[in-house]
C-alpha cells in the first residue's frame, strides 16, 4: 500500500509539473523574465523612434540650411547683376550724351563753316 501511495504521489507531482502551467498559469520566474523582455523591447522601440525623429530633424535642418544658402546665393547673384546692369546703363547714357554732343558740335561747326564762306 505504501508503494501505491508513493506511486500516486509521484504521479501526481509529475502531472502537476506538466498540468500546472495550464491550470495555474506561468510561474513567477517566467513572468518576470517576460516582463523584463517586454520592458527592454519597449525601451528599444522608444529609443529607435527617438533616434528616427532626431535623424529626421537633423535632415530637416540640413535641408533648410541648404535652401537658405541657395536663396542667399541667388539673391546675391540678382543684386550683382542689377548693379552691373545699372553701371552698363549709366555708361550707355554717358556714351549717348557724348554722341549727341559730338553730333551737335559737328552741326554747329558745319554751320559756322557754311556762314564763314
The 10s digit of each residue's pLDDT in 16-65 is 444 555 555 668 888 899 999 999 999 999 999 999 999 999 999 999 99
Report, as an integer, the average pLDDT of 86-104.
95
In this prediction, residue 25 carries a pLDDT of: 66
Taking the C-alpha atoms of residue 100 and residue 106, their distance in angstroms, rounded to an integer, is 10
Percentage of residues in the chain with pLDDT exceeding 70?
Answer: 78
Report, as an integer, the average pLDDT of 90-117.
91
In sequence order, the 6+-apart residues with CB closer than 8 A to the CB of 26 are 34
Report, as an integer, the average pLDDT of 4-20.
51
Taking the C-alpha atoms of residue 67 and residue 11, their distance in angstroms, rounded to an integer, is 78
Taking the C-alpha atoms of residue 63 and residue 41, their distance in angstroms, rounded to an integer, is 33
Q: Please give the C-alpha separations between residue 20 and each of 13, 23, 24, 35, in angstroms, as whole numbers.
A: 10, 5, 5, 20
pTM tops 0.85, yes or no = no
In this prediction, residue 117 carries a pLDDT of: 74
Q: Residue 94 CA to chain centroid, in angstroms?
A: 51
In sequence order, the 6+-apart residues with CB closer than 8 A to the CB of 25 are 31
When comparing pLDDT for 5 and 57, which is higher?
Answer: 57
Amino acid at each position: 500500500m505504501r508503494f501505491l501511495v508513493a506511486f500516486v504521489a509521484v504521479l501526481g507531482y509529475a502531472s502537476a509539473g506538466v498540468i500546472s502551467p495550464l491550470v495555474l498559469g506561468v510561474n513567477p520566474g517566467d513572468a518576470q523574465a517576460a516582463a523584463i523582455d517586454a520592458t527592454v523591447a519597449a525601451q528599444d522601440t522608444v529609443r529607435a523612434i527617438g533616434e528616427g525623429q532626431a535623424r529626421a530633424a537633423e535632415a530637416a535642418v540640413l535641408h533648410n540650411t541648404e535652401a537658405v544658402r541657395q536663396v542667399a546665393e541667388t539673391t546675391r547673384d540678382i543684386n550683382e547683376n542689377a548693379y552691373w546692369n545699372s553701371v552698363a546703363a549709366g555708361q550707355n547714357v554717358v556714351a549717348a550724351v557724348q554722341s549727341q554732343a559730338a553730333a551737335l558740335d559737328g552741326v554747329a561747326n558745319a554751320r559756322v563753316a557754311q556762314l564763314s564762306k
